[in-house]
Chain A
């Protein structure tokens, strides 16, 4: 048990659907991250929230919309996705910047398939 949970674990959606991925951390951290991992590719950082404010957005298409209502929850809202968006979406959390250098704890990921 990593302390970071993600739901759903698997999701199949059509290109016109709207869905949301949920991440929850039970570790008392105040920074949370979304990563995308496509087949045979390195992890790509998508979004970073620190103290519930977005501090990093690596030029992700607007069809991905993050939401961080509090330090324990992170959402990724999906709409009008493309088949190439099919990937493993990983959430992670860590202590915030005041804690200095720190490790990330990852969730199990959501395997997304866009038809």
Chain B
């Protein structure tokens, strides 16, 4: 699996956009970029994923660079409830199942 690098922490003002970067310079052509978040003491929650095109859903937007070596998760209007640890992972098949490896993620704090 390709390794990802994320800043350990970030903060953002409520109502502003939160832009969370992720570096995955060793990503290979068949690996997708996934984002999850984990609110304190809860299970991780899927946010969004993409291969090479930018993606948007009701939660966030995912911008992947043309060379696919980095991506940015955008929360367009952050709220206090978006305070969580955000994980960027890349996924490949292993033994017929997809085995994601979670790193330490980015701890995002949204303040009033």
Contact = CB atoms under 8 A, between A and B. Distances in A.
Interface of A: 2, 4, 31, 35, 42-43, 45, 48, 50, 55-56, 88, 90, 92, 94, 96-97, 101-109, 111
Which bracket fits the contact residues of B?
20 to 34
B32 A109 contact: no
A55 B95 CA distance: 6
A108 B42 contact: yes
B100 A104 contact: yes
Chain B interface, DSSP helix/strand/loop, else mixed: loop
Nearest to A102: B98
Contacts of A50: 95-97
A49 B95 CA distance: 10
B46 A109 contact: no
14 contacts: A31-B97, A42-B104, A45-B99, A50-B95, A50-B96, A55-B97, A56-B94, A92-B43, A94-B98, A102-B98, A103-B46, A106-B45, A108-B43, A111-B41
Nearest to B105: A42
Given A55-B96, A96-B96, 4 more contacts: A2-B45, A42-B103, A101-B91, A108-B42
